[in-house]
Structure 1
Amino acid sequence: MPTTPPVPPVPADPLRAVAVGVLNLSGLGLGYLLIRRWIALAVALIVTGVFVATALPADPDGVSGGVLAGYVVFLLLTVVHGALRGLRTRLSFPSQTPLALLLGLVMLVVPAGAVVYYNGAKDDATQQMLLDRLDKADQLVQAAKAKPFETAKSDYNSALGSYQDLDSEHRGSKAAKKVPDRLQTFYTVIGTPYDQKKFCDAIDPLEYLRTVPQHVDSRTLGSLTGWPDDRLATSLYECGMTELTTPAPDAATDGGKLGQLLTEFPKSPQAAKVEPAVRANIDATAKGLGGADPCGTTDRLRALGSDAAALPGDKAGITDALTADSHRVDGYVETGTYNCGLSQYRSGSFDDALTTMNDFTGKYPHDKNRPLALKIAIAAEIATKVPAAGKKVPTLGSGGSISVTFTNDSPDAVEILYTGAVTGSFTLKGCSGCSRYSSDALAQSQACKNTGRHYAKRTLHVPAGTSYIMQKPIDDADSATPIADSHKFSSGYIYTECAYVLESYNF
């Protein structure tokens, strides 16, 4: 049999090579399909499928750079490999090379469309991610609403950080366009205590809202920029008035909330109400000086005077008015101190009455009530030893028909206090040469009976009836114990009293 002649090689066709390479550029291995390279076609489809599975669903971060670079390299390799194989391999369909090249160019729409689709899906994923972030911030705000402000503050900070990031870093996003409305809700939620008229509780949240413009653009905030100011001024005024009328034991000495109002909002309508309110409160409180609790009223007036003096009125222009209010309080306190001491005396609190009346007489030497206050202090001191001495309030009366002579048989000066129908005191100087007695029996037999000594004496005239007399050392450092007792004086008698010091060595 004759030998079959060898098949002549296919002439090289650069246009065909380009067509195969361009067809492979679609990522579907179509160039391999036209030259019947089935294994290469399968590899191309598998790699493209894996890449698509990795890229979808679209993620806001997109495909990782390594995966994308690897796939691009693979596509370039299929282009080069396909072109080399197509250089001398006839096409199965279509047989005309120009038509295959046209088909390859048309098929480039596939990767281009895939890129457009993927970018759109990526944008949608990004928008959804930003919306989710916005929703999470909204949930933080709503959850924080039920918590105390200090506890919820970290949640508010987190939500505000999200709003600020969306507004500044993603301004054109759907989420960013919703930020102004969310900030309106943010302000409303934090300002809830003000709407509930819990003015003291509203101060810290409103102060916090005043810091928001430091983080969020004023164009985004709009009218919210000044939203807290009037509310904060009102809260400071209302809370400050509560502090003024019911001061806490540890109340601030810098003017408290009213001082803060006068400092932060000195020209506000609320600041203009401070001084008239302070003045009215002082006058209203002073009406209680004649009531059942003059001591408590006086203490409240002192606190009001301190508050008025502590308020920083310079910026608001009310310093002189506040100073006048403080001086008016001083007058009320003067009256209140006397009324307090009198009330303490009448209620039997003689130690307190003595302290209050001594304070009054020492501090107000020109007060019209000072003479009677001195006598009340005397009676109160005697009543600390003999309570019956304080049954009646002393009068300014003096003198009487009964003569009582007091003699001091003591080396130390003594003070004689007396009360009853008349009240007063006087001093007997010490006796030169006199000494203390070592026993009561010795004192009873010898005191005031030495005719050779010059005893200090004083004769007192009192009305008939019961008087209460106290003898005490003048020197506060003297350890001698005062004595007090009641004495009933009758007409037709002359009475004598002898003062001496009994020293006990057992005690």
Structure 2
Amino acid sequence: MPPPPAHPPVYGTPQPTVQLGAMPGAGAGFAPVEPPPPPQPWPAAVAAALLNLSGLGLGYVVLRQWIGAVVCWAATVALIVAVLPADPDGIPAGVLVAYGAFVVLAALDVLRRARRTPLAPWASARQGLVLPLALVLFAVPVGGGFAYGAARDEAREQRLLEQLAAADKLVKDSEGQSFTSAEATYRSALDTYQRIGSEHAGSRAGKLVPDRLQAYYKSVSAPYAKKDYCRAVPALQHLRELPGRVDKALLGTLVGRADEPLAESWFECGTRSVGMTGQEKSSADHLNALMSTFPQSPFAAKVEPTLREVLRARDKSVGVAPCDTAAELRRIDTTVGLLPSAAFASFGKDVGRSIQRGDFACGVDQFKKKEFTEALATMNEYVKAYPSSPQTPQARNIAIAAEIAEETPAAGNKVPSAATADGSGMVMVISNDGPSAVELLYTGPVTGRITLPACGSCKTYPGIIVPKGGNKPCTGPSSKYPKRTLTLPPGNYQMLQKRDSTRSSAEVKKGSTTKIESGYSYTNCLYVTSLY
């Protein structure tokens, strides 16, 4: 048998023979295929990725991926521009999250690329230094974060110092104004001090707050330092309330400091304004606040004795300006009426007696000054208010004389005494020949008034009397006329006849002068005339 062939027969499509190492152009065949590079080792890829976490795009640089490096540089520059200068409120969270996500994605992208792309020759030659360099450069963003934090903290300090300075300016600008008008400004500054001192106690501004509160107290309490006690009251009330608005640790020695100045201001303002026009209630409010808030204060104990001194001084001025003093005493009485009745009942009675003396002196003074209308009103009020007073008879006579003097000024030449007709003297019979009641006022050595009822059968007389038959007044039988008899001491008398209006006559006031002499008796018939 023949021997088997060296190669078994091949069935199917013939396969071309590849000549390895054939030179180009040496004959027909296929070009050689370059095999893919082997994957980079993981340490080198991780080091490249870590280089990118610095935010400087160095991972792309070692891979010679320049577009990625430029994008990293642009993102980092944009971040620096966005966050500098440092803002006291820090970097917006959205910016940080976006930049952090970008850096992580860039690092992952370099990790992916580094597995397929060899490092640059200069980096590959120093491959052992890439990982340490990456770790060192990773400190760049960390250090940048710390540096930015320090800059941000300083910015916050500066902002707090600016706010503190603004509050200081508010306090400074409010000096010289009343606390009532500047209260809103003061409270705004106080709120700033409280916020900085409590929320930022460890800051440079926070450590300055206690000193600023000392200056605040001095500014607000300036009226007290100038002894302007009434203006000091609302300011000191505010300062006394500070422990309820500001941390006591910040106030230090200011806690309770306003108590005694406030007690003194309430006392001084209340006692000094007593009797002033329009201050009746406010004066009482100050004194009541003193006695209720600081009942054990020496100033509370001085209220009643001081008011008595005020009363004694006013009593002395009754002879100088009686009407003004009387009005002031009434205002004092109003104030005393608003004080605790149990403690000031006795003093209130003393004030009432002083008012009585002042009213009488005022009426006399008005009469002497020829202010007869005012004297009439004052003395009539006195008679009504003090019917049992020893001065009431004279007050009544002064009122009569003042009313006469309104028509006959001579009646006001002398202040009448309390003397009235007592049954001794010359007889004067007064008759009323008129259809209405008549009142006769008289003043002279004695003063008084009488009233005669209407004469029912009497009529008015024409203004021009023509003596015809019975047409003359007071010619009828004596029994016809209502009569009153006066016994008057000799002297000159001013008289005033007063009649109310009737259907046929208007109201009448008619003055006259009469001289009473010893040894005579007198008749006086009063009648009414009309023009029709």
What interval of TM-score do these two structures reach, taking the shorter chain for normalisation? 0.7 to 0.9
- For 2:186, the aligned partner's letter is Y
Q: 1:455 to 1:209 in 2, by over 3 A?
A: same
Q: Does residue 177 of structure 1 match 2:199?
A: no
CA–CA separation in structure 2 for the residues paired with 1:151 and 1:352:
42
Counting matched residue pairs gives 497
Shift, 1:324, TM fit: 1.1
Q: Does residue 306 of structure 1 match 2:334?
A: yes
Kindly report which structure 2 residues correspond to 1:77-476, keeping only aligned pairs within 5 A, or say none.
Answer: 77-88=105-116, 89-90=118-119, 92-93=122-123, 95=125, 97-245=127-275, 247-249=276-278, 251-252=280-281, 255-289=284-318, 291-311=319-339, 313=340, 319-395=341-417, 396=419, 398=421, 402-441=426-465, 446-451=472-477, 453-473=479-499
Contact map agreement 2:50 2:135 (CA 8 A) in 1: yes
Contact map agreement 1:10 1:90 (CA 8 A) in 2: no
CA–CA separation in structure 2 for the residues paired with 1:185 and 1:460:
83
CA–CA separation in structure 2 for the residues paired with 1:273 and 1:79:
86
Q: How far does the alpha carbon of each residue in 1:341-366 deviate from its partner, in whole angstroms, 9 at most, with x for none? A: 22222222222222222222233222
> How much identity, in percent, do the aligned residues show?
39
SS of the aligned residue for 2:191 comes to helix
Contact map agreement 1:407 1:455 (CA 8 A) in 2: yes
CA–CA separation in structure 2 for the residues paired with 1:192 and 1:324:
38
Q: 1:39 to 1:96 in 2, by over 3 A?
A: same
Contact map agreement 1:415 1:474 (CA 8 A) in 2: no
Shift, 1:328, TM fit: 0.9
Q: 1:501 to 1:99 in 2, by over 3 A?
A: same
Q: 1:309 to 1:8 in 2, by over 3 A?
A: closer
Shift, 1:123, TM fit: 1.6
Q: How far does the alpha carbon of each residue in 1:37-65 deviate from its partner, in whole angstroms, 9 at most, with x for none? A: 44433433333233223222222222223
Unaligned runs of 5+ residues in structure 1 are 314-318
CA–CA separation in structure 2 for the residues paired with 1:362 and 1:475:
26
Q: How far does the alpha carbon of each residue in 1:280-321 deviate from its partner, in whole angstroms, 9 at most, with x for none? A: 2112211222x132222122112111211112x3xxxxx333
CA–CA separation in structure 1 for the residues paired with 2:181 and 2:302:
33
Contact map agreement 1:306 1:326 (CA 8 A) in 2: no
Runs of 4+ displaced beyond 6 Å: 474-478
Q: Does residue 49 of structure 1 match 2:73?
A: no
Q: 1:38 to 1:362 in 2, by over 3 A?
A: closer
- For 2:312, the aligned partner's letter is D
CA–CA separation in structure 1 for the residues paired with 2:86 and 2:282:
63
Contact map agreement 2:51 2:133 (CA 8 A) in 1: yes
CA–CA separation in structure 2 for the residues paired with 1:11 and 1:40:
21
Contact map agreement 2:281 2:335 (CA 8 A) in 1: no
Q: Which structure: larger Rg?
A: 2
Partner of residue 51, structure 2: 23
Q: How far does the alpha carbon of each residue in 1:211-249 deviate from its partner, in whole angstroms, 9 at most, with x for none? A: 44443223322332323332222222222223214x124
Q: 1:50 to 1:480 in 2, by over 3 A?
A: closer
Contact map agreement 1:409 1:431 (CA 8 A) in 2: yes
Shift, 1:155, TM fit: 2.4
Partner of residue 98, structure 2: 70
Shift, 1:447, TM fit: 2.1
Q: 1:503 to 1:28 in 2, by over 3 A?
A: same
CA–CA separation in structure 2 for the residues paired with 1:62 and 1:394:
94
Contact map agreement 2:270 2:283 (CA 8 A) in 1: no
Q: 1:445 to 1:468 in 2, by over 3 A?
A: farther
SS of the aligned residue for 2:142 comes to helix
Partner of residue 316, structure 1: none
- For 1:412, the aligned partner's letter is S
CA–CA separation in structure 2 for the residues paired with 1:146 and 1:376:
54
- Over the aligned positions, Cα root-mean-square deviation in angstroms equals 3.0
Contact map agreement 1:421 1:467 (CA 8 A) in 2: yes
Shift, 1:492, TM fit: 5.1
- For 2:139, the aligned partner's letter is V
Q: How far does the alpha carbon of each residue in 1:367-397 deviate from its partner, in whole angstroms, 9 at most, with x for none? A: 2223333332322222221111221223427
Unaligned runs of 5+ residues in structure 2 are 1-21, 25-30
SS of the aligned residue for 2:258 comes to helix
TM-score (ref. length: structure 2) = 0.84
CA–CA separation in structure 1 for the residues paired with 2:347 and 2:500:
41
